[in-house]
Amino acid sequence: MTGQYVAYTFYRVDRAFRRLPVEERAAAKDAFAEAVGEHAARFDHLRAYSVTGVRPDADFFLWKITERYEDLGELGAALNATPLAGWLDTPYNYLATTRASQYTSARKARKILPKGNPYLVVYPFVKTRPWYSLPDGERQRAMDEHIRIGREEFPGIHNHTTYSFGIDDQEFMTAFECDEPADFMHLMLRLRESEASRYTERDTPIFVGQHMPLREALDRLDSAAFSVAPEPAEPLPALGSVEPTPMIRDTSAARATS
């Protein structure tokens, strides 16, 4: 069978990393970015997203798309060899593959092709078991409504759903590219009214990543690119250059006795 493997790996930096000398932090980030760059050509797509400031459990993630499962492990091993890996945890890691949807006319798996929108919303998805007991016609009708809402009412949001049955803990990995996170909120609110939504068992945690070059995402770990240099202090006057303050004599007592 042919298709693509799609993985989302989330990283969180140890706060102690920020107390390292600036030069040591920069070298660690450089080595991590270089390892990703050296492996990028093996992947169909390899993109970085920052969640710094919006998630307490992660700082950035990599969206990895490849036709070779081995690419995922080889990149992971290369990253583990970098100094930065000693300061990173991986709180979440999701794996999925592509396949033809049974609810469309497609006969082969659709290739995952990022559209380049600035935001990517990612979350694992599980349906309830009763969904799979419904007659085919009922499921098709529910999914027709689901697909129509997305395509007709929210054409600027691009869906990249992949399948995790048997290879990870969730059933699907859902990823949506959008121009504004609020756009996706309105889509999800609208889908809550659909028939298929009744059969959702789990659709969390949800991550809203901002796409950017990996090195920029890494700089957000310690705000190196956002540090503001302190304003230079005004120089102290040279000795002897200060005008003496004239002494003011209090004559009130003298007036009182005159």
Type of residue found at 179: D
117-146 average pLDDT score:
97
Of residues 110, 112, 100, 90, the one with CA closest to residue 46: 112
What's residue 230's pLDDT? Answer: 53
Average pLDDT in the chain = 90
Q: Which residue has the higher pLDDT, 153 or 237?
A: 153
Residue 171 scores a pLDDT above 60:
yes
Residue 37 scores a pLDDT above 90:
yes
The answer to whether 20 and 95 have CB atoms below 8 angstroms apart is no
Residue 2 scores a pLDDT above 90:
no
CATH fold label, 5-226: Alpha-Beta Plaits (3.30.70)
Q: Which residue has the higher pLDDT, 236 or 61?
A: 61
pTM for this one? 0.85
Provide, for the chain, the percentages of residues in helix, strand and coil under a 3-state DSSP scheme, each rounded to the nearest 5. 35, 25, 40
Q: Which residue has the higher pLDDT, 108 or 40?
A: 40
Residue 252 scores a pLDDT above 50:
no
Six-digit token pair at 8?
Answer: 């989302």
The number of beta carbons lying within 10 Å of the beta carbon of residue 108 is: 10
Instruction: Give the separation between CA 199 and CA 168, rounded to whole angstroms.
Output: 20
What's residue 226's pLDDT? Answer: 62
| Region label for 172, one of left (φ > 0), alpha (ψ between -120 and 50) or beta (otherwise) | beta
Tens-place pLDDT, residues 184-210: 999 999 999 999 999 999 999 999 999
Say how many residues make up the chain.
258
What's residue 20's pLDDT? Answer: 97
What's residue 104's pLDDT? Answer: 84
Q: Give the residue extent of every domain in the chain.
A: 5-226
Q: Is the peptide bond before 205 cis (omega within 30 degrees of 0)?
A: yes
